Amino acid sequence: MPNRLELSGITKQFPGVLANDHVSFAVKPGEIHALLGENGAGKSTLVKMIYGIMQPDAGEIRWNGEPVVVPNPKAARKLGIGMVFQHFSLFEALTVLENIALGMDAKIPSRELEARIREVMTAYGLLLDPHRTVATLSVGERQRIEIVRALLLNPQLLIMDEPTSVLTPQEVEQLFTVLRKLAAEGCSILYISHKLHEIKALCDTATILRGGKLVDTCDPKLETSRSMAEKMIGTGLKDIVKAEGRGFGPPKLLVNRLSTSRTGHFDVPVDDVSFTVRTGEIFGIAGVAGNGQNALLDALSGEIRSEDRDAITIDGKGIGMMGTTERRRHGLCAVPEERNGHAAVGDFTLSDNSVLTARDRLGMVVMGLINSGAAKTYTGKVIADFAVKALGPASTAGSLSGGNLQKYIMGREILQKPSVLVVSQPTWGVDAGAAAAIHQALVDLAAAGSAIVVISQDLDELRTLSDTLAVINMGRLSPARPVRDFSVDEIGLLMGGVHGTVEAA
């Protein structure tokens, strides 16, 4: 039997970067094939060429043995290639059925379409009411719409781009069941991810890209997560050095019945959240995206002020009604999830971005005037200490890659030596090498006596990093426990909204 998909010598050049350099590999019918690599390794570009969004500069794509040119996504779908993107393209105000109908190339009467949707849903256990409005669905359910949309075309190859980044562990299991069933029926799956344990659990073959080049094609079941990670980043991976058996000091940050009010239509406010972080402790907050994490970070950073002074205290001092500047003076620094436009200003130089949050703590302002020399010196130190790839303090923040900008932002806050640091998604979209550096910096800061709150959707990150863990769901925080007392299943249930002792009973 010929290979379902065969790439040979695929090359794509962008101004300044060779995104794909003679990449060749093959996907067999019914095979679940992982495409693995760091951010910027060229995975997305490669997949876009297979799906017809871009054209290769050189090389050949063979489909079931025949050489083909895929001029656009419509042609790709006609060949039998389906794709589920990382970011969904759904209209929140429309129903599931309407969303699927809008995405179809051919016009199908809605009754017939509904019948076919129900057929696909039952066949693969993708349970969903076609008449529900998308706005009421969870992220996992929304992803099912995209999968159903792709399956309606009876694809022979399904491309999944980072599908699990927004799912709970249970939802991930359900997704894997669907994918295994599809593969068993002969549909090939090209699975893009950087989560190595998922690839080990799911995939038959893994192709690893680094810097646009194919590094290795291997059997993930015969590799360790570590060996694959090292192939991905090209060097040995550094472990986080965390002193064992270190004790925690007295309570530093106390959050007591903190709530925020609802501001927008779809955002989730914080609802009666209480927790304590001690000196030297890293407190992790897990949760699926959109469960009040943003409101919690804003409420802690001071962008949203509380009406109760004692809703947040540092060393017993109530800071609940203070703004961000005052809170920083009291030692609380924060890093929001969105880097560009929230944690940093893309049009400003890095030096000017340092002024944004470090001006008071580091004395960059004298009599209303900015001491640009001090800002420059500090920025230079951040760049050097956190190995930020930038031309210098005068580069604009917008010219940095996501990972480098994140390193700069984390460095900017950590080098201020805050006594409390609150960070959201500290390594989101950051490559493994940079992520390890950021993790180590957080651990070192805690060891030096700061209290740290890490809000993240990445369970692996939280399990390696935090000492204590709680889960946020619909704005409510579960009771906190030492991280080693939690099983992944338990965390997953909490993330999905099953609150242990009370509701599950």
Residues that bind another protein (CB under 8 A): 15, 52, 55, 71-72, 301-303, 323-325, 328, 334, 336, 338, 341-348, 352, 355-357, 359, 365, 368-370, 372, 395-396, 398-399
Is 447 in contact with 280 (CB distance < 8 Å)? yes
Q: Measured from the CB atom, is 185 or 347 closer to another protein?
A: 347
- Nearer Cβ to another protein, position 304 or 483? 304
Q: Find all residues with CB under 8 Å of 20, minimum gap 6, and list them.
A: 10, 11, 12, 42, 45, 46, 49, 56, 212
- DSSP conformation class of 484: G
CB of 376 vs another protein, minimal distance in Å: 14
> CB 212 → another protein: shortest distance, Å?
19
By C-beta, is 359 or 439 nearer to another protein?
359
DSSP E strands, 113-181: 157-161
CB of 340 to another protein, least distance (A): 8
- Residue number with CB closer to another protein (343 or 493): 343
- Helix ranges (DSSP H) in 185-330: 196-202, 225-233, 293-301, 324-329
437 token code pair: 């550096």
Within 8 A by CB and 6+ apart from 319, the residues are 302, 309, 312, 313, 326, 327, 330, 332
Residues 6+ apart with CB under 8 A from 241: 440, 443
Where does residue 162 fall: left (phi above 0), alpha (psi -120 to 50 degrees), or beta otherwise?
A: left
In contact, 351 and 375? CB cutoff 8 Å: yes
Closer residue to another protein, CB minimum distance, 270 or 495 = 270
Shortest reach from residue 330's CB to another protein, in Å: 13
What is the amino acid identity at position 58?
A
Report the residue number, 3 or 401, with the smaller CB distance to another protein: 401
Q: Which residues pair with 276 in a beta bridge?
A: 254
CB of 328: closest distance to another protein in angstroms? 7
* Least distance CB 346 / another protein (angstroms): 7
CB of 9 to another protein, least distance (A): 19
Of the pair 357, 478, the CB lying nearest another protein is at 357
Residues 6 or more apart from 134 whose CB is under 8 A from it?
Answer: 90, 91, 92, 93, 94, 95, 96, 99, 142, 145
CB of 230 to another protein, least distance (A): 31
Which is nearer to another protein, 287 or 302 (by Cβ)? 302
Q: How far is CA 242 from the centre of its chain?
A: 24
* Strand 451-455, strand 420-424: pairing: parallel
Provide the 10 A C-beta neighbour count for residue 249: 11
**Residues 446, 246 contacting (CB under 8 angstroms):** no
CB-nearer residue toward another protein: 302 or 411? 302
Q: Where are the alpha helices (DSSP H) in 243-349?
A: 293-301, 324-329
- In the complex with another protein, which residue's Cβ is closer, 164 or 395? 395
Q: Are strands 468-473 and 451-455 parallel, antiparallel or unpaired?
A: unpaired
Q: Cβ of residue 426: shortest distance to another protein, in angstroms?
A: 16
Q: Where are the beta strands (DSSP E) in 195-260?
A: 205-210, 213-218, 251-258
Q: Residue 11 CB, nearest distance to another protein (Å)?
A: 15
Minimum gap (Å) between residue 381 Cβ and another protein:
20
Cβ proximity to another protein: between 370 and 498 the closer is 370
Amino acid of residue 498: V
Tokens representing 276 are 């304590």
Angle at 274 between CA 273 and CA 278, to 5 degrees: 140
Q: State in angstroms the smallest separation of the CB of 356 from another protein.
A: 4
User: 3-class DSSP state for residue 400?
Assistant: coil
Q: Are the C-beta atoms of residues 98 and 81 closer than 8 Å to each other?
A: no
Considering the complex, state which of residue 44 and residue 143 has its C-beta at the smaller distance from another protein. Answer: 44
Q: Is the CB of 15 or the CB of 250 nearer to another protein? A: 15
* Closest approach of another protein to the CB of residue 449, in Å: 25
